[in-house]
Amino acid sequence: MKRFFPILAVLTAVLLSYALYQALVAAPTDQLQGDVYRIIYYHVPSAWTAFLFFTINFVASVLYLIRRNLKADAVAVAAAEVGVVFCTVVLITGPLWARPVWGIWWTWDIRLTSTLVLWLIYVSYLILRRFSSGSQTPVLAAALAIFGALDVPLVYFSIWFFRTQHPQPVIGDGGSMDPRMLHVLLLSWAAFLCFGFLVFWSRYRLEVLQRQLEDAQAQESLLEARSS
């Protein structure tokens, strides 16, 4: 992975640039919303990417609780951080899109509220990992992550089961979307996935190296204590 990382980084930069051009220039303008609808190419892919990394965090947390695998715990931490970043993008782009379309920045409907709750849960998870150093911290964090993951399907399916201010899906469930718009949407998601994976891998490696350093320092301190 170290050898291919620079190549993947360059390819990701090219893909992000091409997706930006397609989203802002090449994609057709929506007849009802005008150019403001182009936020969809960042809002929706960010949401899908956040859901994916929260799911990775969930799986890694379950594996840690079952096997006490430290690598799984490191994966969980890295995935949560990347997921929170993309979820933050969702919460920023959503109001920017809503203001000119709905006439309001925010409304406490089930989709928006559950997304905010999801973000708060995983921010709490990261705060717990950052400021707590007890031996049970990974276990408590894994339990919190599993609890937070239960909110992901609620966020996703809320517009199917509840009446909300949020628009109904344009993909699936009878929805439709201009094929050119759908192509750009999927292209943007692919670019975000590549970027998210690169950040995730870098953060995972950093987490592993940090833990190895802490273990080495702990062993050195133990040897010094025994020698004295």
What is the span of the domain harbouring residue 67?
5-227
Pairwise CA distance, residues 123 & 142, whole Å: 13
Which pLDDT value is given to residue 227?
72
Pairwise CA distance, residues 112 & 116, whole Å: 6
Helices (H) and strands (E) in the chain, counts: 7, 0
2 near 188, Cβ under 8 Å?
Answer: no
Pairwise CA distance, residues 111 & 120, whole Å: 14
User: In terms of Cα–Cα distance, which of 118, 142, 119 is closest to 129?
Assistant: 142
28 near 180, Cβ under 8 Å?
Answer: yes
What lies within 8 Å, CB to CB, of 203 at 6+ separation is 77, 78, 81, 82
Which pLDDT value is given to residue 169?
61
Encoded tokens for 207: 């987490």
Domain count, the chain: 1
Note down pLDDT in tens along the chain; length 228 residues.
677 888 889 999 999 999 999 999 999 988 888 889 899 999 999 999 999 999 999 999 999 999 999 899 999 999 999 999 999 999 999 999 988 888 888 888 888 899 999 999 999 999 999 888 778 899 999 999 999 999 998 888 877 776 666 666 655 554 567 888 999 999 999 999 999 999 999 999 999 998 888 778 878 777 777 776
